[in-house]
Amino acid sequence: MKIVFLEPLGLKVRQIEAACEGLKKAGHEVIVYPDRNENLDELKRRAEGAEVVIESNIPLRKDFLDACPNLKMLSIAFTGLDHIDLEECERRGIVVKNAAGYSTEAVAELAIALMIDLYRKVLENDTITRQCNRKGIMPGREIGGKTIGIIGMGNIGQRVAKIANAFGCKVLAWNRTQKQVDGVTFVDKETLLKESDIVTLHIALNADTRDFITAKDFALMKPSTILINTARGPVVNETALAEALKQGQIAAAATDVYGTEPPLKPENPLLGAPNLIMLPHIGFATEEAFLLRLGIVVRNIEELF
């Protein structure tokens, strides 16, 4: 089998090759490209003749699949699969596997870090310090004792809940189906939005969750509420979020995800919104997570063969 890594997945080529020793010993050819290139023609060239292709979050649609008649498997080094044409893969009999669970700790920790950053005004006080203005310090708030509302109680949501409990928070949760999770009270969406001091999103993107948070939802929140989105950009209506921040409907927000992947277009409404931390989609990006997902990717391939 010809196995092609379209990109190095944030690791060194030698790390990937070492993880694939078992596949090589089994007689498979493993090719690892040392850079990420999203140009469709280049992707087709790299994948030529491949039976297994590995990549993270580069969109792969019908036009790419048309150029890969031998393809038997897409091993996606990512949790979400909304960038893959799953219907076309199913029609062609192509197995698609994701790297479920690799970024649980990384994303959960980032969500908590953003809560702390917004509450303690870390960035603002850094600026004040650099300006040598001790009198301008900005006092913050404490997470302990606050109500954190978690939307989506998969692995990441549950990990956030566990950390929040350690801070002494009251944890509310909404999920499509209720679960039994220690230290968590499941409520309906409206109750969660009305009662939470912090709302953090951890749901997958699908037809039901697109625009899950809109203007009417911001109207339910307290003016002191902060919103954290490390899930998927389109679950929050960006125009509504920008307006809610401008009008003071909520106190602040932080987002690591957007309707389109960064770099953002200048007309994105969030770029002009106040009290907003914007990160370039780094929730999954830790050394530990990269190594963990490589192991999952290789295991998925080994299980296929």
- The one-letter code for the residue type at 187 is V
What is the DSSP code string of 42-90?
HHHHHHTT-SEEEESS--B-HHHHHT-TT--EEEESSS--TTB-HHHHH
Taking 3-state DSSP, the helix, strand and coil percentages for the chain, each rounded to the nearest 5, stand at 40, 15, 45
Q: Which residue do the tokens 């010809």 mark? A: 2
CA distances from 195 to 8, 231, 259, 275 (A): 44, 21, 27, 21
Among candidate residues 120, 210, 281, 299, the one labeled active-site is 281
Known catalytic residue at 17: no
Among candidate residues 46, 159, 202, 232, the one labeled active-site is 232
**DSSP reduced 3-state for 229:** strand
Is residue 81 packed enough to be buried (19+ CB in 10 Å), middle (13-18) or exposed (0-12)? middle
Known catalytic residue at 288: no
What is the DSSP code string of 257-302?
--SSPSSPPTT-GGGG-SSEEE--S-TT--HHHHHHHHHHHHHHHH
HSE-CB for 181 with a 13 A CA cutoff: 27
Known catalytic residue at 281: yes
**DSSP reduced 3-state for 252:** strand
Q: In terms of Cα–Cα distance, which of 177, 283, 159 is closest to 232? A: 283
Rounded CA-CA distance 304/102 in Å is 19
Residues with active-site annotation: 232, 261, 281
